[in-house]
Chain A
């Protein structure tokens, strides 16, 4: 599962950068966090476009509809299996080679707060303020442009970008998937679809022995077995699938069935 996930993350990184060879410059938003200001970008950043349309109009029906389709299809699978900024966080954790230095519980509402703040700020200021401090924008937009367009000088917000990126990288080092867990506005949106999405993680409680290995390995610190797959914090990376000794967790696709988890058929004494 791990190698497969690294592969899909790599494929996603290549896909969003197909603008590099000049064959793609689509009007499609990507289902994950990526800066469309990148000189190689092929897709739009949903948060960037939402801000632009919150500031200048029209009402972003098309982007909201696209996010609805992405969310319904896979919920936060996009975060765990495709997001380039998530990949960066996974790389930092891989280099760290140990558990989180700081253990924090999940707070789903902070992501939605960031989203609301981002859109309200864009609407009031008539500017894409979040983009000026976005660490993904630093990594995928500002820094590559320094190499591609060396004639451009450094502005104030370039240094702000560098600071936010460095602070973010330190946060990723201390707390794995820090951005996904607490700050990602797109993760806030996609997380709302985790319970209703077609592709999901399904837990078979009849097979579950409550050993807790899935919770120990979870990069988003999910605290209850019942929240795996359904919680808006779950990025569906599938590490719990690999960790489960009884194969109680699996990826399943379900258009018609319930999102509810299987219950134990027998009552424990």
Chain B
């Protein structure tokens, strides 16, 4: 019984999570993609413990 329920519930959980994640990425990529891009190879002197 539980196994049968899981076989119904699991795909639903997957689909819900997939929809939420995908919608987050699609809706916010325009605004936030460049924020992440700006972080890449950004020389954070204090984070890495380097001085000027």
> Residues of A at under 8 Å CB distance from B?
19, 25-29, 36-45, 48-49, 52-53, 58, 60-69, 72, 127-128, 131-132, 137, 141-142, 145-146, 149, 152-161, 193, 196, 198, 255-260, 263
Contact = CB atoms under 8 A, between A and B. Distances in A.
Contacts of B37: 25-27, 44
Contacts of A68: 17-18, 20-21, 24
Interface of B: 3, 6-7, 9-11, 13-14, 17-18, 20-29, 31-37, 39-52
B28 A61 contact: yes
A7 B47 CA distance: 31
Contacts of A41: 40-41
A19 B46 contact: no
A19 B17 contact: no
Q: Which applies to chain B's interface (DSSP): helix, strand, loop or mixed?
A: helix
Listed from nearest, the 8 A-B pairs whose CB atoms lie closest are: A65-B24, A68-B21, A157-B49, A158-B49, A27-B37, A62-B32, A27-B33, A65-B25
B26 to A, nearest CB: 8
A52 B39 contact: yes
A183 to B, nearest CB: 18
